[in-house]
Amino acid sequence: MLKVEHIGIAVKNMQDAVLLYEKLLNTNCYKTELVETEKVNTAFFQQGETKIELLESTDPNGVIAKFIERKGEGLHHIAFDVADIRTEMKRLQDEGFVLLNEEPKPGADNKLVCFLHPKGTSGVLVELCQSI
């Protein structure tokens, strides 16, 4: 893994959260994106080499909506940048980690992504990201 690519934060209201994080981080949101396959709106902030990704559900039955219902707003996942996502997926699977998807899928910010099951990562949802 090359670096922490971003930290994902689940929010109920994107407009309010963007204003809050612009003040908190003292920088503007540089990108928003709808990821229809995941039923989520995203907003990105750059802090050094790491990004903060805000996630708002577009569907009351979506993954982010269900997460907020169970745990409330807050830290959703940590994403690591990888050079070759398929190689890293195989390596982690060989190490005993459980992948939540068998193949990488398109994600936000021009990335291929794969998630690891949080039961095998001390309760933290881990995302692997490779630039497309």
Domains delineated in the chain:
3-131 (3.10.180.10)
Distance CA 11, CA 18 (A): 10
Identity of the residue numbered 110 = N
Residue 95 pLDDT level (bands cut at 50, 70, 90): very high
Distance CA 12, CA 57 (A): 7
Residue 1 pLDDT level (bands cut at 50, 70, 90): confident
pLDDT over 90 (residue 65): yes
pLDDT over 90 (residue 91): yes
User: Could you tell me the two tokens for 104?
Assistant: 């990488």
pLDDT over 90 (residue 74): yes
pLDDT over 90 (residue 37): no
Distance CA 25, CA 59 (A): 28
